[in-house]
Structure formats: C-alpha cells, structure tokens
Amino acid sequence: MTPLATGPRVLLRRLRKVMAGAGSAQTRLDRVVQVIASNMVAEVCSVYLMRGGDSLELFASEGLKASAVHSTRLRVGEGLVGEIAARAQPLALADAQSHPSFAYRPETGEEIYHSLMGVPIQRSGRVIGVLVVQNRTRRHYSEEEIEALQTVAMVLAELVGAGDLVAPEVLREGVSDQDTPRRLDGLSLADGVAIGVAMLHEPRIEITQVIADDADVEAERLEAALEGLRGSIDSMLSATDLAIAGEHREVLEAFRMFANDKGWVRRIHQALDAGLTAEAAVQRVQEENRARMSQVADTYLRDRLHDLDDLSNRLIRHLMGEPLTAATRGLPDQAIVLARHMGPADLLDYDRAKLCAVVLEEGSPNSHVAIIARALGIPMVGQLAGVLEMIEPGDRLIVDGDSAHVYLRPSADITVSYRQNIAARQERVEQYVKLRGQPAITRDGVEITLNINAGLVGDVRYLAETGADGIGLFRTEFQFMVSATLPRLKTQRELYATVLKRAAGKPVVFRTLDIGSDKVVPFLHHAREENPALGWRATRLALDRPALLRYQVRALLQAAGGKPLNILFPLIADVAEFKAARAIVDKELEALKRAHRRRPSVLRVGSMLEVPALFWQLEALLPLVDFISIGSNDLLQFLFACDRSNPRLANRYDLLSPSALSFIREVVKICNRHGVEISLCGEAAGRPLEAMALIGLGLRHVSMSPASIGPVKMMVRSLTVAELEGYMKTLIPLPDHSVRAKLREFAQDHDIII
C-alpha cells in the first residue's frame, strides 16, 4: 500500500486549496482532517493542539464523535497522544489499545479503532500539537506513511503558528500573566554580571510558502543557499581576530565540517522530493533533529546537534533573504541576547562592544558557544527552560553568571542592589589592579605563589591582567573536545607552543588529558557507565590507549623547544600508574634525542592527588615525582563519597571540615619532609576564606580562576601566617561538621580581608 493514496504532492496541493478557501478557521480545519483521512486511507484523522502550554485539546476530527471536539483534553504525557507530545516522537501501533499508555476517552467513540499513527506538530523546536490517524483494522504503518504524515504535520505547524487556522489568543488562553518580576536559577556557562535589555537572538521565521510549485527550482535555490552558507563560514574563519590558532578556531572548523555534511544535505533533498519548498524542507529536517536532541542524554552529542540546528537556521535565512540574527539588525547598547540555544558562529556575529550577556534555554559548559563566550568574557547563563516565553524584546534583565541567576523585569531594589554590586566590583577590580604588580607576601614575610587555572589559549592573557605567578593548571582536554577527530600532532604542538610563548617565561603546568566521565570526545568510543566520575577516565583511560598519551606528550615536548616544561598526570590512584605514565614520557624524550631535536631546558613531571588511596603510597611516590598537585574538586567528592554535581549534596560536605583539613595537612607534612613541592588547584583555592585555611595548613602554592587572584592576594597581604597556623592546630581535633564560622570569626578578629 502506498503511504498516500494519490501521492504526497497531490495531498499538499489539496491542503493548499483548503487553506485558501472560504469559511471560518474551524471550517477549514475540519476540511483539512477530511482531506488527510481520505488520502491516508484512514477512518479517523484528528488534530490536537496545545492549550496553555500543558494540555492537548481535540480541535478537529474526521471519524471521532463530533461532540468530543473542543471537549476532550489530555495532559502532556497522558495517553498515546500525550506521550507523542511529551517525547516529540512519532508513534505507530497496530494494536493501540494494548499499549500501556493508552487512555480511553468514552466521549470520542474510538474504542472501535485498533491501529493508530501519530506525529508531533512542531514549530520553533516546540510541540504545539499532535496529528493522529486511526484505522479499525490492525494496520501496520510503514516508514513511508510515517514520513508522509510528518510532512503534513509540518505544513499544519506553519498554518497554526501563523494564525491561519486558529487564533493565537485561543491557544494562549489560560497562560498566566508574565509581567511580574522573576528570578530564574540556571547553570553558569560563563562568569560575569550584566544589566541590560532583552533582544531575541532569532527573529520569528515565518515561512509563507511550504508547498513547492516547481521541484527543480527549489533544488537550485537550495544549492545556491548552501553555497552562500559555506562561504559565510569561510569568511568568518579568515577574519583577522580569529585567524590565530586556538579552541575558537577549531570550533569553527568543526562547524564548517557540519555545513558540508552529506547526510544532512541528502535528508533535505528527500524532503524536497515530498513536495516542500526549499526552506520548508530545511525546517522539516531541523524539526527531526530537534526531536532527536530531546531524546539524547549524551551532552556532547546534544551540543553537536545544536550546531546542526544553528546551521539550519542560517540556511533558512539565506533562502529567505532574512537577516541572520539580531546581530545584523542592530543592537542597542547593553544588549542581552536570548535564545533557545546558540551556535558558536552566531555568537561571533555580534558587536562585542554592545553585547553584554547571553541567556539560553539550553546549553552546557562544554558546548562550543560556552567555550567561545568564556574566551570573549561574555557572561552566559543556560538551562533556563521556557525563558523565551517569559520575556519580550526590550524587557530589562539582570544576568548573574557568577551565581547562575537571571532576573526578568527586576524590581527597582534588585536593580539598585546589582548596580551597587557592579560598582563595588569595579572598585574592587581597581584595587586588585593596583595590587597586580605587588607580591603575594603575608605580613610576617611568607611568600605565597598564586597561579591561575586555564583551558583556552585566550586565558593566558590573564597572567598579565592579574599579575599571577604562572598557570598552575592548564586543562588540555578542551582542544580534543571541540575536534571531530584526534587533533594532529602539528595542531597540538602549535597550541602548546602558543601558550608557552604568551606566558612569557612564567611557568605553565600542562595537565594531560582528563577525558571520560562528563568530558566526551567524538573520536573515542565510550560506553555508558553507572559511575562515570569513578570510571574509565583521565590517566587510566590514557594508559589503556597509550598511543593517545604518547601523541600528546610528544607534542608537549616538541612545543617546549628548549623552554621549561611541566607535565601533570591526573587521577593517579597508585604508584604503578604514575610509573607507567612517566615511562611514556621517557620514551618520547629518548625519541627526541635520537631525532636530534631540542629537549625542554627543564622537565618536571608531577602527579595529581585526587584519589585518597594514593595518600597511603605517598612515601613511595614522592621520590619519583617533581611536584604534587591536590585536585580539591575530585578529592572532596571521593573523600566524602559525595557526588559534587548532585544539587541535594551541594552543601552537605565542606572543605573546611576537620576531616578534610586534617587530610590536607598530613599530605603537606609528608611532601615537605621529602622536599617535594605541593600545590592545590580547584575551586576552593579561589575563595579567600578557604585559601586562608589552606595557607594555615602549610600550603604555599595555590591555583585558581583568574578572577580570584585579586581577592586572594588581598587576603594574603592582610594575613599573619604564624598566628593562623597556631589557630588551625586547635581546629583539627574538633568534631564539628565544619569550622567555617570559626575561621570567619578569626579573620574578622585579626583584620584579615576575606
């Protein structure tokens, strides 16, 4: 049986005639379901539309009882129709009533129909309804029939969205007023605070013609638009401020690869063959990708599908001759751009003198756009579901990237408070700038080394801006996470050489790949794990794939080219792992010697202490290492068996607990006894109170985010170490859950600036 009795093009032409015909919106919608039922050889065709954002109302039906129309409602997730809406996926069942999600509605009279096929009606990435056909027989619907119904649903989506079939105010009935101030809590993607006015990243795309008149013409239009799209990306890559090597360039290279993806283009051509215009065909494939995104748990794959979504939007605008985004329509000063998600190329389109922040409904810290935002210093908050429905262009917003808050239409007192906060931050920044050239020396003459953590080439500039002593932790995995394939030796070498050159002689500690867990790379298969933070990651992964580690170590050694080099191995659990990793370094050093290439002038190799088990092997490990770096983030979650990404446990355990402080103090003692440098990198080092406690335990080297250098240096210069060390000894034996309050009182009593 063919999916459509007379073919998809004939059905689309018939639907177009119905839309152009006379009569009320309801009359035309009733006629639409009759035409679909006839062409799909179905006894029933029904259209359910979303009302108030959380329920589906039967708006028209051919085959079900007329009295059920506008009376039958299902919640999203309720019944088969509700499940289709919730999952944004088609569903085809030969025996619908045996499905566990089947919900019987006696007023519809549908008990005589056995088979069901339904598809979501989607617009702008959201489900706005469900299109269903039913048959009395137990009919097995084919893939072609499902695709045909999806094409029809796409046409309906545009007609409904444009108000041609149902007045928009009818669908919005019951939606609450959104004029009151609100605070939304999201996920910080890039630090910073901004006050500004809302701008929609993408203007509403209104595709006025979805059914093609001439398939050949549409194919030609598509090819021309694809050529223009690819050309715009090539131009972006050749821009002077993006021509240098770095993660931002690799992001755009990956973006260009997607624009040339043959599978993506082939699916668009298949949609053209169904009788759609070029822009409607692109949108059809885009909606399919969005549906896939909603079902993908893997953050890396979701981010790559977002890139395809970005490309689809740009391609549609090429076809329609529309401005690509708000970036090309002229931004007001202090613009805060809002989007469901955003691609890296789109962010780079904006005037950086006017763009002050970005708010996303989706997004992840490792997404391409977040990497670019951090490199450019643009505050960004994500994971704010439904935010686009709550705002209007021109609304006042406050974006707090530090705390992951977004204030919609903030009240006067909140605005005043944040303006004071921003002014105070600026004053503190000016004070920190004055300290930039001053050493981090305590009142009693103890020198503390303050380093920054980095992960992007652009981060190196913070050495000069903050006056930091060096880079205590350079995370090398970002380069791998934004590349579709294993970065070539030359690419890796150039990045590391650039970092060393820009560091201008200040020390840089390169941590080898810490991939696995939540850091997925596309070129390495990684099976799902129940406890990924405890799983196949970091050095244990690298030792199982020694070629990967050898390749990176080779690039690091070559990049040093006569300069000092520091290599740090993450997640070492026992001495044997460090020996195996160090052996790879030694082999690559020998290869450099045989090739008569310059070796690093000084090579230091260290181990991170994150796994508590390593503590009991320190005596055996320390003679083999040049330095130890405590990774406080992972160490704490392992020490307390506490998932640090679980919000329920976020405040359950504290670095400033006697048990954690005691552990770190013993590590410092053992390292000092062996004369091995000991440092700590992690979020704790960047908070003045925690940094004060660490110094009181004997640490003299700490590494933190660049923004923390100023506050911590100010604390250090107001501190007397001898007094603090004596006080810390009295805290270690206490049974308290945390000694945070006691340390804060000590700081206040001794005029320590925290």
Query: Which residues are catalytically annotated?
Result: 368, 681
Residues 6+ apart with CB under 8 A from 464: 504
Bridge partners, 48 (sequence order): 58, 130
Distance, CA of 154 to chain centre:
28
Rounded-to-integer distance, Cα 743 and Cα 304, Å: 46
Short-list 229, 194, 188, CA closest to 345: 229
Rounded-to-integer distance, Cα 190 and Cα 195, Å: 15
Contact status, residue 698 vs residue 722, Cβ threshold 8 Å = no
How many Cβ atoms sit within 10 Å of the Cβ of residue 321?
Answer: 7
Residues 6+ apart with CB under 8 A from 647: none
Rounded-to-integer distance, Cα 550 and Cα 576, Å: 17
Residues 6+ apart with CB under 8 A from 741: none
Angle at which helices 721-731 and 740-749 cross, to 10°: 150
Tokens linked to 45: 């065709």
CB-side exposure of 564: number of CA atoms within 13 Å?
Answer: 13
Q: What is the DSSP string of 488-526?
A: PHHHHHHHHHHHHHHHTTS-EEEEPP--BTTB--TTS--
Q: What is the DSSP string of 548-608?
A: HHHHHHHHHHHHHTTS-EEEEE-S--SHHHHHHHHHHHHHHHHHHHHTTPPPPSSEEEEEE
Tokens linked to 303: 């981010």
Tokens linked to 58: 């039967």
Short-list 656, 662, 568, 650, CA closest to 615: 662
Strand spans (E) along 79-209: 91-93, 115-123, 126-135, 182-185, 187-190, 193-200
Residues 6+ apart with CB under 8 A from 336: 194, 196, 197, 198, 199, 356, 357, 358, 359, 397, 399
Rounded-to-integer distance, Cα 39 and Cα 61, Å: 15
